Amino acid sequence: MAEEPRWLTPQEQRAWRGFVRLQERLGGRIGRLLQSESNVSPADFAVLVHLTDAPDGRRRPQDLARALEWEKSRMSHHVARMAGRGMVVREECPEDGRGAFVVITDAGRAAIEAAAPRHVAAVRELFIDHVTPAELRVLAEISERVLARMDEDRT
């Protein structure tokens, strides 16, 4: 016999639904701003952020896919579209003939440098300016704890 689901309490449901709605609306609003003002999609921005966070601007496709929680095929198709627009290139890995890297180009760096100021302004305007420093600390702690648990489940 299947175990009975642990249904959410009204308080848990309120918190969960509020979190999901907040995430959806923030993502949608910021995504539309990026697309309309910088011609960078939210997916482009996410890839470019991960590449600019790497010291040499390069990451293996499977590492990018894992970081973004994307399927391998989605990563492959999106990188191909970004390469077609000159934002990234694929480079073969000299140590591993089968492997490759996704590498940010000068055009990719220019795109994220143009989009980042508007992105951070939107993040501040829509979110940061409406919470206290104490609330931000709690949110960071919650996020880090849940993400750590999800990372444990991945291995």
At the topology level, CATH places domain 29-154 in: Arc Repressor Mutant, subunit A (1.10.10)
pLDDT mean values, one per 10 residues, the chain (155 residues)? 90 97 96 93 97 95 94 96 97 78 97 96 97 97 95 79
Answer positive or negative: Cα dihedral of 78, 58, 29, 139: positive
Contact 130, 90 (CB under 8 A): no
Alpha-helical segments (H) within 39-132: 42-53, 61-68, 72-84, 106-126
Boundaries of every domain in the chain:
29-154
pLDDT of residue 155: 62
